[in-house]
Amino acid sequence: MRLERRTETPLALALSAPLIAVAIALALSGVLIAIAGANPLQAYYEMLKGAFGSRLSISETLTRTTPLVLTGLAAAVAFRSRLWNIGGEGQFYVGALCAAWLGHSIAAVLPPVLAIPVMMIAGMIAGALLLLGPVILRIRFGVDEVVTTLLLNFIVLLFVSMMIEGPLKDPLAFGWPQSVAVSNDVMLPKLLSRSRLHIGLLIAIAAAIIIYVVQSRTVFGVKSRAAGLNAAAASFAGVSLGSTLLVVACISGALAGLAGAIEVTGLKGYVTLDLSPGYGYSGIVVAMLAGLNPLGVVATALFVAIVFVGADSMSRAMGVPSFIADVIVSISLLTMLVCLLFTTYRVRR
Amino acid sequence: MMEALDIFTTASLWDAVLRIATPLIFGTLGALICERSGVLNLGIEGILTLGAMVAWMTVYQGGDLWTGLAVAAFCGGMFGLLHAFLTVPLGLSQHVTGLGITLFASSLTYFVYRLSLPVSSSPPTIEPFQPLAIPGLSDIPFLGEALFSQTAPTYLAILAAAITAWVLAKTPLGLAVRMTGENPHAVEAQGLNPIRIRIGAIVVGSALMALGGAFLTTATFNSFFPTMVQGRGWVCIALVVFASWQPGKALLGALLFALFDAYQLRLQHVVEGGVPYQLFLMVPYVLSIVALIVMSRRARVPNALMAPYRRGER
Amino acid sequence: MTQPPVLELSGITKIFGDLVANDDISLNLNHGELLALLGENGAGKTTLMNILFGHYTADSGEVRAFGDVLPPGKPSAAIEAGIGMVHQHFTLAGNLSVLDNVMIGTEGLGLLNSARRPARRKLAELAERFGLQVDPDAMISDLSVGERQRVEILKALYRDARVLILDEPTAVLTRIEADKLFETLRTMTKTGLSLIFISHKLHEVMAASNRVVILRGGKVVAERNTAETDRAELAELMVGRRVVRPKRQDQRAGDTVFSARNISVTQGERTLLDDVSFEVRSGEILGIIGVSGNGQATLGKLTCGLAEATQGDLTFDGRTAKSFTPHDLVESAAGRIPEDRNTEGAIGEMAVWENSVLERISEPRFNRRGFVDRKACRDYAAELIRRFDIRGATPDTGTRLLSGGNMQKMILGRNLASTPKFIVANQPTRGLDEGAIAAVHTELLAAREAGAAILLISEDLDEVNALSDRIQAIVKGRLSAPVAASEADSRRIGLMMAGIWEGEDAA
């Protein structure tokens, strides 16, 4: 038995791959749910109810979707150019920290219409700068960016911890390690009253559309795709690999930084060490499930959000540990990789 | 300032170096074996987590410590097999698959842990490995206390490094592994099966990684708690590069690294006021990055590392 | 022959996707025979030998060695049965020693220690017996191509091969080295070995083999005793139809368009190009002939804008510099045909239109304020497809699906469509069949007629002879002085390719 490359990928197969992958992942996770003593079908029903059962739960799911779209885009943009940015988590935190600091300090000086964009842009710049380091190391010295971006996540978390226990500590937080708070008048407007859903969701969706247009319609999009698919041919055609990679890194880092900035200014209002339940890492899964397609990212981010929000309430109702959400998501990543393979290869005896 | 230097003359520092190094030695050797066969195993972080939990759980449920290690190694090997299946015969991206294995192994670990032990404020403990004084050697003043009063798995780690070095350099099996990492077509053309060799190397390497994780819960600490691995896996991946894919240098690298780590822990107590402790905690990660930069030019990467091998591919 | 054949292949069929690579092939190899397997690129020779050796599994048919059926898909079984294979792309590990490369797979994997001393002795004996000297402790990466081939052969002999298959063994050798190799092979047949060598070169098939099997389009089309045939008949059998390669017409060259003056390129301690000078004039083809691995890749990179001269400089379009960028060259109307169309020339996963415009995508005709004018791009691609007869393609076809010849036509087309002043053609017909070769030659000659200055880098003597006005040989990174085509007989060029040229003052 061996694999043979398909001459063409049937469209139906390409479209159904993520669905098949998710179905297999749910089936496998169902075994674990059964082991935990619950009926898998009922558990999944509870999850759906938890994610969509009420106005509140729908708004929570969408709130959760927002950062995932952005970190998913960050990974999708980078991976498409074979830039293995695994540092989304760190970029998320520096973006968040920047936004919190500015939201606390400039609110008095700038009106909200200016302050909000400034915070967003600052978060993006912080995220981009954080990724530039590993990318320059890769271009200059050939250092694998997977390991450096991963290690940077730990460094950044310690840095954030240092800041929120030090210079940026909120003196009113009863000694909890928590950053200064974003002033109320520069928080992102709500999208839905009496809910936590904020306009960050629209920003994230707009970002997905912009990235899609840039990738599919612009000269830069074609060049960066070429660089990712075949570096030798791209540089033969005159595409500068280094500068393309730098631009891609800036976009990718900025998206993850923006995710952090939005999470702080839209939702939490301040930074703590549990601001992100692994959004940076989940972003990788979101991107892979979407086959790196920016519009697909919106859909898969929603899926991952459903799993997380739904698992919380299912866990409360049925006593299955909520870690099942991480299990479902990580198995989905692996099954998606296999399904993607079979869109380009087929098995021959 | 004198105090900062005095640290080096305390036996407890050197004792700690070996203790801190042990999981790194296992992890680095494991990653090294995988990479010498041509496959990057970024599942390491998850496999360390898994090994830590499984070994602890086995002992907590009444197994003895060695059984705990054996079960951890077995489970690590199984996750290695999964990584191997996805990256070798299927030829999937080693980067993404490895991360997927890490996410899967850690989430499954937490799930199983939470399932068997519902939330409690302080994690339950086990009776960990006790120091095993080597008769004679451990009586040597200073050195005895510093180097020869370790727990049994530490000696095992050093032995594993020696065995790995011998097997890779001196045996036909080692040659086959090295050649598979350099050019799998050359292996196939001589009638060996590079796919099986890679799968075998990944399984063995992953089992070693899991032992590294197991050491954390059965010797360093006596309980399991989430996030306890703290990026040690990624440090090991960096150490493999630092060691230029040589087991001997991997041992040295892990020890050197542990020395810095043990030193910064003690330095924290010596340095007076004003320096945030987080800066000290960053040291291992910063060092890993520095090691990668310094060695990047000189390191001799296995030629076929990360290149999937598909039989009969045209 | 009274002895039974040592190898019998019967009814071998192998299908890759839509391509029938081997179609019901049967052939025998007799004891002590030197059999040539002749065929064009893509005729299925290598596939057949890979099936024989167990790298591929046939869809049907069987292989018998010394009367016993070989289990399919197992190189170990083939080796066990006494079959050895010398691959065209050597299967050696560069970072390991010769002895390591020879010993791999010869010992049980359970052994605690490797028996290197007896192995070293056996290797030395074999090297002595067949005149294949190599240093067992040398790293493969430090060996020349010829020495590497010796290691490949020794590997097979070390495993007591009685049948040896050599895939295009002379592709990387000079004529002199090739003659020596065939001499060695003949010695081997005298000691009882039976050999198959794969080739598409008629002269060596005629000179070396006892018998020829001709493959075309995946089928055995004929079988001849070498003594009873001639080059003309073999050529016709191999190609199957009359393909006439176009011939160069005399034409006066114009001014110098592109020149290199005393160029050296070094990489670390290695000198890739050593004090190289040449000039290419409008309306002429300058042929650079040489055996693979003598600096052609670097010369190609330099002239395509991907490498920089360490010393000396290039002059083109009124500018003198150490290097040009691909962008500079495209802007100044240079056409570039890369050495390897699959890795440098085209991106398989992109559409034909994308590959057609990639190097000019920033030009205003395809670029509307940063956005790609997809209609203009598709129209351009459609024009190339029509003008250069790219078969099986629409602008939206995945480039990977094109055959080698059609992919090359696309690359040629995007370079020739805008009447270039200068063209680098690096191995432009490597791996193509006769029909495609003729098409590429026709286009290059048409460009020459239109006044382009063409630098042709090639390993194919016939190609260089047929197309070039002047010829320079490249050996170990050095260039000979140019020789006019009229003065270049094959003996002189053969000597030049071996590094022997009069007056070491390379112009």
Token reading at C312: 């000396």
Express each pLDDT in C153-201 by its tens digit: 999 999 999 999 999 998 888 778 888 899 999 999 998 999 999 998 8
A76 phi, psi to nearest 5 deg = -65, -45
**What band does A349 get if pLDDT is binned at 50, 70 and 90?**
low
Residues 6+ apart with CB under 8 A from C504: none
Query: Do the Cβ atoms of A158 and B100 come within 8 Å?
Result: no
CA distance C47 to B122: 65
Please give the residue of chain A at the shortest CA–CA distance from B295. Answer: A143
- Residues found in chain C: 507
CB contacts < 8 A (B, C)? 92
C371: left (phi over 0), alpha (psi -120 to 50) or beta: beta
Q: Where are the beta strands (DSSP E) in C7-115?
A: 7-16, 19-29, 34-39, 60-65, 68-69, 83-86
Taking CA atoms, B17 is separated from A143, A255, B244, B259, in Å, by 27, 41, 22, 5
Q: Tell me the per-residue pLDDT of C391-442, one tens digit each, with 9 for 90 and over.
A: 889 999 999 888 888 999 999 999 999 889 999 999 999 888 888 999 999 9
Instruction: State how far residue B267 is from chain C, nearest Cα, in angstroms.
Output: 43
Is the CB of C350 inside 8 Å of chain A's CB atoms?
A: yes
- What's the rounded Cα separation, in Å, for the pair B271 and B150? 28
Do the beta carbons of residue A200 and residue A305 sit within 8 Å?
no
Dist. CA C224–CA A278, nearest whole Å: 71
Query: What residue type is assigned to position A190 of the chain?
Result: K
The residue-averaged pLDDT of A138-155 equals: 93
Mean pLDDT score across all residues of chain C = 91
Q: Over range A40-48, report the average pLDDT.
A: 96
Check B111 against A154: CB less than 8 A apart.
Answer: no
Q: Does A86 touch chain B (CB under 8 A)?
A: yes
Query: C108: burial class by Cβ within 10 Å (0-12, 13-18, 19+)?
Result: exposed
Which residue has 């040539």 as its token pair? Answer: C36
Which whole-number Å values give the CA distances from C121 to B204, C125, C161, in the listed order? 34, 6, 18
Residues of B with CB under 8 A from a CB of A: 42, 82, 86, 90-93, 95-97, 99-101, 103-104, 106-108, 110-111, 114-115, 230-231, 234-235, 237-238, 241, 276, 278-279, 281-282, 285-286, 288-289, 292-293, 296-297, 310-312
> According to the model, what pLDDT value does residue A1 have?
67
Which of A158, A165, A312 to mutate to probe the B interface, most B CBs <10 Å? A158
Under the banding of pLDDT at 50, 70 and 90, the label for residue C505 is very low
For Cα atoms A69, A73, A76, give the angle at the middle one, nearest 5 degrees: 135
Name, in order, each residue with C-beta under 8 angstroms of A113's C-beta and a sequence gap of 6 or more. none
Q: How far apart are the first and last CA of chain B?
A: 65
Which pair of tokens denotes residue A128?
């981009």
**Rounded distance, CA A309 to CA A283, Å?**
16
What integer pLDDT is reported at residue B312 of this predicted model? 58
Give A301's contacts (C-beta < 8 A, 6+ positions apart).
A65, A68, A69, A72, A204, A286
CA diameter of chain B: 66
Contact C55 B189 (CB under 8 A): yes
Q: Which residues of A touch C344 (CB under 8 A)?
A: 232-233, 236
From B4-8, C277-281, C317-321, the region with the lowest mean pLDDT? B4-8
Residue C212 binned pLDDT confidence (cut-offs 50, 70, 90): very high
The residue type at C101: N
Q: How far apart are CA A193 and CA A268, in angstroms?
A: 16
| Chain B residues touching C91 at Cβ < 8 A | 183, 185-186, 188-190
Q: What is this structure's pTM?
A: 0.93
CB contact under 8 A, C155 and B190: yes
H/E run at residue C470: strand C470-475
Task: Say if residue A3's pLDDT is above 90.
Answer: no
Distance in angstroms (rounded) separating the CA atoms of residues C405 and B261: 60
Which of B90, B101, B106 faces A341 most closely, judged by CB atoms? B90
Query: Cβ(A169)–Cβ(A176) under 8 Å?
Result: no
**By CA distance, what is C19's nearest residue in A?**
A7
Among residues A302, A220, A204, which one has the least CA distance to residue A256? A204
- CB contact under 8 Å between B190 and C56, yes or no, is no
- What is the per-residue pLDDT for C506? 41
Q: What are phi and psi of A276, to 5 degrees?
A: -110, 125
Mean pLDDT, rounded, for C102-106: 93
Which H or E run includes C326?
A: helix C326-331
pLDDT tens sequence across C121-145 = 999 999 999 889 899 999 998 888 8
Cα of C444 vs its chain's centroid, Å: 19
E-strand spans in C126-235?
163-167, 194-199, 211-216, 219-225
In chain C, residues with a C-beta closer than 8 Å to the C-beta of A223 are 358, 361
Mean pLDDT of A105-123: 91
Measure in Å the smallest separation between the Cα of B68 and chain A Cα atoms: 22
pLDDT at residue C507 greater than cutoff 60: no
- pLDDT beyond 90 at A2: no
Q: How far apart are the first and last CA of chain A?
A: 4
Q: Please name the member of B173, B185, B189 whose beta carbon is closest to the beta carbon of C109.
A: B173
A336-345, B110-119, C4-13: least confidently modelled range: B110-119
List CB contacts of A117: < 8 A, sequence separation 6 or more: none
Question: How much is the CA Rg of chain B, to the nearest whole Å?
Answer: 20
Are C103 and B172 within 8 A, CB to CB?
yes
Nearest Cα to Cα of residue C324 among C345, C344, C339, C302: C302
Token pair of A214, please?
A: 């840039």
pLDDT-flagged residues of chain B (< 70): 1-2, 119-121, 298-299, 311-314
What residues contact C282, with CB distance under 8 A and at least 6 apart? C253, C254, C255, C256, C257, C421, C451, C452, C453
Residue C241, classified by CB atoms within 10 Å of its CB into exposed (0-12), middle (13-18) or buried (19+), is exposed
Best C336, C343, C357, C358 member to test A by mutation, with max A CBs in 10 Å, is C358
C401 and C374 Cβ atoms separated by less than 8 Å:
no
Q: Residue written as tokens 């099954």? A: A335
Mean pLDDT of C460-481: 92
Tell me how far apart the alpha carbons of residues C420 and B124 are, in angstroms, rounded to a whole number. Answer: 78
Those residues with Cβ within 8 angstroms of residue A125's Cβ, 6 or more apart along the chain or in another chain = A98, A254, A257
The pLDDT score that the predictor gives to residue B120 is: 67
State the alpha helices, DSSP H only, in chain B.
Answer: 2-6, 11-36, 44-60, 65-87, 94-116, 143-147, 152-170, 172-182, 184-189, 194-215, 232-242, 247-270, 277-296
Q: What Rg value do the Cα atoms of chain C yield, rounded?
A: 24
pLDDT at C250: 85
Q: Could you give phi then psi for residue C161, rounded to 5 degrees? A: -65, 140
pLDDT digits (tens, 9 = 90+) for A271-320: 999 999 999 999 999 999 999 999 999 999 999 999 999 999 999 999 89
Predicted interface score ipTM higher than 0.90:
yes
User: How many other C-beta atoms are found inside a 10 Å radius of the C-beta of residue A101?
Assistant: 21
Cα Rg for chain A, rounded, in angstroms?
21
Q: Provide the mean pLDDT of chain A.
A: 93
Residue B84 φ/ψ, nearest 5 degrees: -65, -45
A238 with C326: Cβ contact below 8 A:
yes
Residue A179 DSSP symbol: B
| Phi, psi at C263, each rounded to 5° | -80, 130
Task: Give the closest residue to A335 by CA, choosing from A267, A287, A288.
Answer: A288
Backbone angles phi, psi at C318, to 5 degrees: 75, 5
> Can you give the pLDDT at residue B314?
41
Beta-sheet pairing, A2-5 with A345-348: antiparallel
Mean pLDDT of A150-175: 91
